[in-house]
A and B are shown apart, each in its own frame.
Chain A
Amino acid sequence: MNWVAANLAQVMALLFAHIAITIPAIVLSVAVAVPLGRLAHASGRARGSILATTGVLYAIPSLPLLIVIPIVFGLPLRSPATMIIALTVYGVAMLARSAADAFAAVPPDAVTVATATGHTPAGRFLHVELPLAMPVLIAGTRVVAMSTIGLATIGALIGIPSLGSLLTDGFQRGIAAEVATGIVLTLVLAAVVDGALWLTGRVSQPWSHIVRETRSASL
Chain B
Amino acid sequence: MNLVGETLLWLADPLHWTGPDGIPTRLAQHVGLTVVVIAIASAIALPIGAWMGHTRRGEVTIATLVNGSRALPTLGLVTLFALWLGIGVRAPIIALVILAVPSIVAATYSGISSASRPAVEAARALGHTSWQTLSRIEAPLAMPTIGGGLQSALLQVVATATIAAYVADVGLGRYIFAGLKSRDYPEMLAGSVLVILLALVVTAAAAGVGRLYRRLTNPERTPE
Contacts and interface: CB of A to CB of B under 8 A. Distances in A.
B191 interface: yes
Given A59-B200, A182-B76, A67 B70 contact: no
A62 B173 CA distance: 11
The interface size bin for chain B is: 35 or more
B75 A167 contact: yes
A61 B196 contact: yes
Contacts of B176: 63-64, 67
Interface stretch (A111-119, A150-158, A207-215): A150-158
Query: Could you tell me the dominant secondary structure of chain B's interface residues?
Result: helix
A168 B79 contact: yes
B203 interface: yes
B192 A63 contact: yes
A158 B155 CA distance: 22
Interface residues of A, number: 42
A164 B83 CA distance: 16
Contacts of A60: 159, 196, 199-200
Interface string B77-96: 10110111000000000000
Contact of B76 (A142, A179, A189): A179
A152 to B, nearest CB: 8
B195 interface: yes
B200 A153 contact: no
A147 B163 CA distance: 17
B199 A156 contact: no
Residue from A147, A163, A167, A194 having most chain B Cβ neighbours under 10 A: A167
Interface in A187-211: 187, 189-191, 194
B75 A168 contact: yes
Given A157-B166, A170-B83, A171-B82, 18 more contacts: A59-B203, A61-B158, A61-B199, A64-B193, A67-B176, A142-B67, A146-B70, A146-B71, A147-B70, A149-B71, A150-B74, A170-B79, A171-B83, A182-B73, A183-B72, A183-B80, A187-B68, A189-B71
Interface of B: 3-4, 67-68, 70-77, 79-80, 82-84, 155, 158-160, 162-163, 166-167, 173, 176-177, 180, 188-189, 191-193, 195-196, 199-200, 203
23 contacts: A55-B203, A60-B159, A60-B199, A61-B159, A61-B195, A63-B162, A64-B192, A64-B196, A67-B189, A67-B191, A68-B193, A71-B3, A143-B67, A150-B70, A150-B73, A151-B73, A153-B75, A153-B76, A176-B84, A179-B83, A186-B73, A187-B71, A189-B71
Interface of A: 55-56, 59-65, 67-68, 71, 142-143, 146-147, 149-151, 153-154, 156-158, 163-164, 167-168, 170-171, 174, 176, 179-180, 182-183, 186-187, 189-191, 194
